[in-house]
C-alpha cells in the first residue's frame, strides 16, 4: 500500500472508531509502519477529524520529518515495533469498557479477560495488565516493551489498550474485539458464565494461530 493510501486509511479508520464511540475528545492514537519510518496521529487532534496530509511522519531515527507533532503518547509505539518485527500498525485507545476492566480489582494480571468468544481468542488471545504509570512516564514505555515481544495486545491499568497488528485493519479489528469482549465481561459480572474451555481455546489456537506464518493466515503480527 502506498504512503498516500495509508494516510487516507488512518484518517478513515480513525473517524470510523470515533463515530462509533470508541474514542472521545482528542486522546487515542494510531501509527503505521512505512519503509522509512512511521506515520502517527498528531497531538491534540481528534481521531474523528484527522487530516491525512498532516499526520506526523517520523523517520527511522525517531525524528519528525513532516506533518504536525505526534501524539504525546508517541513513546508507546516504537517500543512495540522494536519487539514485533512484523507489526505494521499500533492502535491505542481509551475505549470505555476496556478502561473499565483495567480499573477492576481481582482480575488476573497475566490475562485480564476470559475467553468468552472464539473471535476474541483468534484476534486477541491473551491480554496482560500493565501496572499504572502516569502518561508520559518512561517506565510505562519500558513496561509495554517488556511484554510486547510475547503479546501483541496489552492493557494499561486505569488507562486503556495498546494493540499491534500485521496491518492497520488487523490492529483495529483486534482493538474492537477487545472492547466488545470487555463490554461482554462487564455485562456478565455476577452471572454464572461459561467461557470457552481450555480444549476449545487450544483447538482455536491450532486452527488460527496468532503468531504463525504457515499456510493459514495469521491474524496477528
The window from 67-75, 143-151, 171-179, 213-221 that contacts Zn ion (CB under 5 A) reads: 67-75
Size of the site for Zn ion (CB under 5 A): 1
The window from 58-66, 70-78, 168-176, 187-195 that contacts Zn ion (CB under 5 A) reads: 70-78
Nearest approach in angstroms of CB 73 to Zn ion is: 5
Catalytic residues: 73, 119
Nearest approach in angstroms of CB 48 to Zn ion is: 16
At residue 93, the 3 state secondary structure works out as coil
Residue 30 pairs in a beta bridge with 91
Q: What would the grid cell of residue 10 be?
A: 488512518
Interatomic CA distance for residues 24 and 27, integer angstroms: 7
The window from 50-58, 73-81, 95-103, 107-115 that contacts Zn ion (CB under 5 A) reads: 73-81
Nearest approach in angstroms of CB 72 to Zn ion is: 9
- C-beta of 73 vs 121, nearer to Zn ion: 73
Q: Which residues contact 56 (CB under 8 A, 6 or more apart)?
A: 39, 40, 41, 42, 64, 66, 67, 68, 69, 70, 71, 74
Burial 161-183 (b: 16+ CB within 10 A, else e): bbbbbbbbebbbbbbbbbbbbbb
Question: What separation in angstroms does the CA of 186 have from each of 22, 114, 158, 183?
Answer: 16, 11, 15, 5
Task: Write down the number of H helices and E strands in the chain.
Answer: 7, 8
Q: By beta-carbon distance, which residue lies closest to Zn ion? A: 73
- C-beta of 45 vs 204, nearer to Zn ion: 45
Nearest approach in angstroms of CB 31 to Zn ion is: 13
- C-beta of 172 vs 210, nearer to Zn ion: 172
Site for Zn ion in 81-140 (CB under 5 A): none
Nearest approach in angstroms of CB 93 to Zn ion is: 8
Residue 215 CB-density burial (10 A; 0-12 exposed, 13-18 middle, 19+ buried):
exposed
- C-beta of 80 vs 201, nearer to Zn ion: 80
- C-beta of 11 vs 76, nearer to Zn ion: 76
Interatomic CA distance for residues 54 and 62, integer angstroms: 17
Residues that bind Zn ion (CB under 5 A): 73
Amino acid at each position: 500500500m502506498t504512503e498516500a493510501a495509508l494516510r487516507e486509511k488512518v484518517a478513515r479508520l480513525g473517524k470510523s472508531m470515533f463515530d462509533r464511540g470508541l474514542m472521545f475528545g482528542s486522546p487515542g492514537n494510531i501509527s503505521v509502519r512505512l519503509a522509512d519510518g512511521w506515520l502517527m496521529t498528531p497531538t491534540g487532534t481528534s481521531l474523528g477529524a484527522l487530516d491525512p496530509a498532516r499526520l506526523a511522519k517520523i523517520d527511522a531515527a525517531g525524528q519528525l520529518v513532516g506533518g504536525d507533532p505526534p501524539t504525546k503518547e508517541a513513546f508507546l509505539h516504537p517500543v512495540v515495533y522494536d519487539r514485533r518485527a512484523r507489526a505494521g500498525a499500533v492502535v491505542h485507545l481509551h475505549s470505555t469498557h476496556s478502561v473499565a476492566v483495567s480499573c477492576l480489582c481481582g482480575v488476573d494480571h497475566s490475562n485480564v479477560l476470559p475467553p468468552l468468544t472464539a473471535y476474541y481468542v483468534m484476534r486477541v488471545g491473551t491480554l496482560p495488565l500493565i501496572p499504572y504509570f502516569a502518561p508520559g512516564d518512561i517506565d510505562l514505555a519500558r513496561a509495554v516493551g517488556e511484554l510486547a515481544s510475547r503479546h501483541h495486545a496489552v492493557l494499561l491499568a486505569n488507562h486503556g489498550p495498546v494493540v499491534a497488528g500485521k496491518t492497520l485493519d488487523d490492529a483495529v479489528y483486534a482493538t474492537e474485539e477487545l472492547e466488545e469482549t470487555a463490554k461482554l465481561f462487564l455485562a456478565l459480572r455476577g452471572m454464572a458464565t461459561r467461557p470457552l474451555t481450555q480444549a476449545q481455546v487450544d483447538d482455536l489456537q491450532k486452527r488460527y494461530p496468532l503468531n504463525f506464518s504457515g499456510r493459514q493466515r495469521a491474524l496477528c503480527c
